Amino acid sequence: SSDREVETVVFTAVGDKAFCTGGNTAEYSAYYSKRPNEYGEYMDLFNAMVDGILNCKKPVICRVNGMRVAGGQEIGMATDLTISSDMAI
């Protein structure tokens, strides 16, 4: 964003268990295995989100209070900085 009022973007999660542990593999198996084109569209959306983080013209911070796995790790790696809670494992 080129909005001058926005100084920093912060990605965070709700709760104290995880930032993001990625997709629901049971759902992928049950639902998307029968719909490969729809899964491709889903992944296109996810990849566009990561590209949006990478192309953001403001500093992007990943605020972690728990696990950051799979898709969550990809999101975190696209940010400029990760800040972890003392309670994160």
What are φ and ψ of residue 22, in 5° steps?
90, -165
Kindly tell me if the per-residue pLDDT of 45 is higher than 90: yes
Would you state the pLDDT for residue 79?
96
User: What are the boundaries of each domain within the chain?
Assistant: 9-84
Residue 26 exposure: Cα atoms within 13 Å on the Cβ side:
0
Can you read off the two tokens belonging to residue 60? 């992007």
Beta-strand runs (E) in the chain: 9-11, 18-20, 60-64, 67-68, 81-84
Q: At 18, is the secondary structure helix, strand, or coil?
A: strand
Mean local confidence (pLDDT), 8-18: 80
Kindly tell me if the per-residue pLDDT of 14 is higher than 90: no
Would you state the pLDDT for residue 37?
94
Q: How far apart are CA 48 and CA 36, in angstroms?
A: 18
pLDDT band at 68 (very low <50, low <70, confident <90, very high): confident
Kindly tell me if the per-residue pLDDT of 49 is higher than 80: yes
Annotation: CATH topology of 9-84: 2-enoyl-CoA Hydratase; Chain A, domain 1 (3.90.226)
Kindly tell me if the per-residue pLDDT of 16 is higher than 60: yes
